[in-house]
């Protein structure tokens, strides 16, 4: 793993150094702009984190190669938060302290973002998360009672929220998979508990029954008691709010307890590691993930080809396309700011970039990228995936419409 | 209540695993009065040792053939690390105040985790552990996992062998003597240093067997697996009466079953809905420990001893 990290770092560093060696350009006044990445690069969730980092790196390389912003050379700086809120906040502080950083892509976890938002906002530094789905981050703590208030102007995201995702999942499970008795489990974390709640409310509203619910500890590995409960509850499906390191073993143990029902989860379980950790007991399990499958969108084909060509060791994973778009939205914002200022980066570039972000609009890997008045993506597309023959396969793509 | 047999079986399996690890805590404490907080990591190292043994075998080899080799690989790794820790981390501190080796143990546990995380290929994520495929065995009132058969055989067998070793061999009797009074034992010609190393080694071997059981049961192992499991096993050792090897196993089984029942039923007690479920299992495990220690401070099978320091 460390080799991969080092390798990717060298890659991005090379691009930059190559530019400098060009000599005349540096003399021509090329300004260095750093785009930060904060994600879990090591630890249990590193499969997703490395995908985020590499994809943002790809965007930076492309912008440099094509000279998207004349006179500006982009550089990537990735920090590891290990999915830990405290580390995330330290990284945010570090980024704010570096003058060249004009935008940060990340983090993966909503719980980490909660500790970073204020730091970024105080530093007027743009943050674009490719993966946060908890509604509170953009709509405020009272979003549940329909009182939307954007807490931080510097926060943006290219992923849809759990309000959309949880409801979409409930509608699919009830209307299309024809399941009526669900057992709801969550991991007590910001993302998992929030998602499970939204799902549960919508499922009940549609007419389904929640036959039982339970919580697990993210540090545990033995879920036999809850698996036994699922079996005796007579549930025909399980909804799990949480991430793949627990979801895999949970699915495995539910099946082993003798309950042949699918486990359904959100984008946090949509990863190949989930299938591995379930010991191949996950066939038929379901997951929703934000956006259309990257492999199926025309605009994404170039991304996939470029990603392959760049030779990253790790896959772009669930959030690759969103991370690329997140990085690219920062690049677009910088471009707008530079253009407004007569081709030069202004002194208060950070504040200007935050303002420019709300007007960003381009066709990205995941479709049209732009942000609404809360900083949320206007792209409300979602996809249901299922595990088939040990692989994730898309079942249904759609745009959530309330 | 129709799932009661299943919950008891779940708890028993969990408990046997805790018990096997708890033996290591209890033996080391019984002889040198040290709580070896790095023992959870010795358990984890056993898992990676077994995995390594499996990986060096030619691919496609039957698990039946590989299993004994994996057990040996796990034991070698665990024992090497445990005796190494004893020699270089604990022995120099044997005459130091008791807090010093305790803190060393905590430091060592963090260091061992980080070493595996950093240097074992792919250990930054969970690694797949070989296990038997196939449906659970339906025994009417409950299901039994194929992979748990290993635990069901290994745990009692280990306890019988250890019991016989302690009671019937010279080394075993020397161990008992050292536990009673190391200074007098030394005067009687017992090489107490050697006895201490053996205590560490036996505990490590048991932890390695538990780690193989863990890998088979969950299908994967990771560098952090020793933290919570080790803490539970330590609880089991205290619950059973620290210093008593049978107490360790009994404490493990009691803890495992209590945890499993708490996760299953406390939710149904009126007014306790918010305090039940799998997420609260750890809390109830420690509540049980506190209750037992209030009623019986020496633990279930422990003897009340006067402090000899």
Number of Cβ within 10 Å of residue B309's Cβ equals: 4
Exposed/middle/buried for residue B55 (C-beta within 10 Å: 0-12, 13-18, 19+): middle
Token pair of B27, please? 């033996």
pLDDT, tens digit, 9 for 90 and up, residues B80-92:
999 999 999 999 9
Exposed/middle/buried for residue B176 (C-beta within 10 Å: 0-12, 13-18, 19+): middle
Q: How confident is the model at residue A352 (pLDDT cuts 50, 70, 90)?
A: very high
Report the gap between the CA of B226 and the closest CA in chain A (Å): 11
Shortest CA distance to A103 belongs to which of A392, A349, A394? A349
Going by the DSSP 8-state scheme, the letter that residue B251 receives in this structure is H
Token pair 């985020």 is at which residue? A52
| Residues in chain A within 8 Å Cβ distance of B143 | 256-258
Look at residue A292 in the predicted model and tell me its pLDDT.
Answer: 80
Lowest mean pLDDT among A130-144, A151-165, A288-302, B244-258: A288-302
Q: Are A40 and A89 in contact (CB under 8 A)?
A: no
Smallest Cβ–Cβ distance between B228 and the set A219, A276, A280 belongs to A219
Number of Cβ within 10 Å of residue B232's Cβ equals: 28
| Across A362-382, average pLDDT | 90
Cβ separation B126–A226 shorter than 8 A: no
Token pair 């407004």 is at which residue? A340
Look at residue A179 in the predicted model and tell me its pLDDT.
Answer: 96
Alpha carbons A245 and A192: distance in angstroms, whole number:
13
Cβ separation B118–A226 shorter than 8 A: no
Q: Which of residues 6-65 of A touch B (CB under 8 A)?
A: 42-44, 46-47
Token pair of B273, please? 């809905």
Cβ separation B126–A44 shorter than 8 A: yes
- Please provide the DSSP assignment of B125-167 as one string: S-EE-----SPPEE-SSSEE-TTHHHHHHHHHHHHHHHHHHHH
Q: How confident is the model at residue B223 (pLDDT cuts 50, 70, 90)?
A: very high
| Across B91-110, average pLDDT | 92
Going by the DSSP 8-state scheme, the letter that residue B86 receives in this structure is I
> Kind and range of the H or E element at A273?
helix A272-277
Q: What is the CA radius of gyration of chain A?
A: 21
pTM: 0.82
Going by the DSSP 8-state scheme, the letter that residue A98 receives in this structure is -
**Residue A249 in contact with partner chain B when CB distance is under 8 A:** yes
Shortest CA distance to B9 belongs to which of B210, B261, B216? B261
Token pair of A384, please? 């249901």
Alpha carbons B137 and B155: distance in angstroms, whole number:
20
Q: Are B43 and B226 in contact (CB under 8 A)?
A: yes
- Backbone phi, psi, residue A101, to 5°: -75, 120
- Backbone phi, psi, residue A291, to 5°: 80, 180
Three-state SS for A222? coil
pLDDT, tens digit, 9 for 90 and up, residues A25-58:
443 468 999 999 999 998 888 889 999 999 999 9
Token pair of B221, please? 């192992």
Q: Please, where are the H alpha helices in A207-257?
A: 224-233, 244-256
Q: Are A364 and A379 in contact (CB under 8 A)?
A: no
**Residue B3 in contact with partner chain A when CB distance is under 8 A:** yes
pLDDT, tens digit, 9 for 90 and up, residues B170-196:
999 999 999 988 899 999 999 999 999
| Residues in chain B within 8 Å Cβ distance of A215 | 277-280
Cβ separation A2–B118 shorter than 8 A: yes
| Residues in chain B within 8 Å Cβ distance of A214 | 267, 277-279
Look at residue B9 in the predicted model and tell me its pLDDT.
Answer: 93
Look at residue B305 in the predicted model and tell me its pLDDT.
Answer: 57
- In DSSP terms, B138 is beta-bridged to B143
Contacts of B82 (CB under 8 A, 6+ apart): B24, B39, B42, B200, B201, B203, B204, B207
Alpha carbons B159 and B154: distance in angstroms, whole number:
9
**Residue B140 in contact with partner chain A when CB distance is under 8 A:** no
First-to-last C-alpha distance (Å) of chain A: 42
Report the alpha-carbon angle A141-A85-A54, nearest 5.
Answer: 110
Greatest Cα pair distance, chain B, in angstroms, is 62
Smallest Cβ–Cβ distance between B219 and the set A217, A231, A279 belongs to A279
**Residue A210 in contact with partner chain B when CB distance is under 8 A:** no
Lowest mean pLDDT among A106-115, A154-163, A297-306: A297-306
Alpha carbons A151 and A136: distance in angstroms, whole number:
9
């Amino acid at each position: 793993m460390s080799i991969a990290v080092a390798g990717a770092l060298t890659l991005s560093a090379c691009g930059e150094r190559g530019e400098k060696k060009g000599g005349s350009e540096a003399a021509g006044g090329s300004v260095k702009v750093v785009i930060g990445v904060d994600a879990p690069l090591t630890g249990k969730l590193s499969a997703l984190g490395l995908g985020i980092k590499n994809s943002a790196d790809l965007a930076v390389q492309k912008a440099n190669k094509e000279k998207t912003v004349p006179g500006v050379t982009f550089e990537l700086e990735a920090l590891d938060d290990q999915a830990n809120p405290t580390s995330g906040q330290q990284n945010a502080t570090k980024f704010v302290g570096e003058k060249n950083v004009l935008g940060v892509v990340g983090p993966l976890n909503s719980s980490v973002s909660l500790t970073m938002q204020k730091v970024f906002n105080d530093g007027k530094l743009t943050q674009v998360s490719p993966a946060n789905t908890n509604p509170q981050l953009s709509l405020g703590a009272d979003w549940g009672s329909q009182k939307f208030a954007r807490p931080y102007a510097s926060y943006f995201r290219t992923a849809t929220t759990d309000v959309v995702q949880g409801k979409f999942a409930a509608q699919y499970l009830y209307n299309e998979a024809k399941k009526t008795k669900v057992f709801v489990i969550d991991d007590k974390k910001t993302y998992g508990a929030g998602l499970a709640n939204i799902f549960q409310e919508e499922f009940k509203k549609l007419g389904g029954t929640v036959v039982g619910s339970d919580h697990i500890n993210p540090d545990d590995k033995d879920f036999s008691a809850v698996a036994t409960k699922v079996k005796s509850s007579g549930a025909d499906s399980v909804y799990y709010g949480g991430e793949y390191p627990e979801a895999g073993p949970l699915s495995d143990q539910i099946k082993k307890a003798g309950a042949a029902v699918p486990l359904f989860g959100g984008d946090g379980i949509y990863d190949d590691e989930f299938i591995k950790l379930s010991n191949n007991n996950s066939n038929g399990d379901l997951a929703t993930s934000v956006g259309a499958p990257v492999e199926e969108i025309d605009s994404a084909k170039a991304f996939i080809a470029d990603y392959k060509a760049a030779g990253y060791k790790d896959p772009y994973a669930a959030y690759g396309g969103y991370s690329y778009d997140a990085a690219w939205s920062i690049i677009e914002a910088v471009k707008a700011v530079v253009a407004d200022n007569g081709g030069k980066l202004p002194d208060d570039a950070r504040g200007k970039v935050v303002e420019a972000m709300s007007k960003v609009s381009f066709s990205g890997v995941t479709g049209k990228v732009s942000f609404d008045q809360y900083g949320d993506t206007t792209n409300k597309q979602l996809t249901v995936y299922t595990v088939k023959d040990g692989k994730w396969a898309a079942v249904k793509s759609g745009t959530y419409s309330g | 209540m129709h799932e009661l047999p299943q919950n008891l079986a779940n708890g028993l399996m969990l408990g046997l695993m805790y018990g096997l690890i708890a033996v290591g805590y209890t033996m080391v404490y019984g002889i040198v009065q040290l709580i070896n907080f790095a023992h959870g990591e010795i358990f984890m190292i056993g898992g990676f040792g077994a995995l390594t043994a499996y990986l060096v075998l030619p691919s496609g080899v039957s698990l039946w053939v590989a299993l004994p080799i994996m057990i040996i690989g796990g034991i070698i790794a665990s024992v090497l690390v445990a005796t190494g820790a004893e020699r270089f981390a604990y022995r120099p501190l044997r005459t130091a105040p008791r807090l010093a080796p305790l803190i060393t143990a905590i430091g060592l546990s963090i260091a061992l985790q980080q070493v595996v995380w950093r240097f074992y290929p792919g250990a930054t994520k969970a690694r797949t552990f070989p296990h038997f495929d196939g449906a659970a065995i339906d025994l009417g009132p409950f299901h039994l996992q194929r992979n748990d058969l290993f635990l069901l055989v290994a745990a009692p067998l280990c306890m019988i062998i250890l019991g016989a070793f302690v009671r019937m061999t010279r080394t075993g009797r020397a161990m008992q003597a050292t536990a009673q009074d190391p200074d007098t034992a030394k005067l009687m010609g017992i090489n107490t240093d050697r006895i201490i190393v053996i205590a560490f080694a036996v505990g490590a071997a048991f932890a390695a067997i538990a780690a193989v059981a863990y890998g088979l049961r969950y299908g994967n192992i990771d560098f952090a697996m020793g933290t919570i499991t080790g803490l539970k096993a330590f609880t089991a050792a205290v619950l059973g009466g620290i210093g008593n090897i049978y107490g360790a196993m009994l404490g493990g089984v009691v803890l495992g079953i209590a945890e499993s029942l708490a996760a299953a039923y406390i939710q149904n007690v009126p007014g306790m809905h918010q305090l039940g479920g799998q997420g609260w299992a750890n809390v109830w495990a420690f509540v049980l420990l506190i209750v037992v220690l209030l009623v019986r401070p020496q633990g279930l099978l422990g003897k009340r001893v006067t402090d000899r320091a």
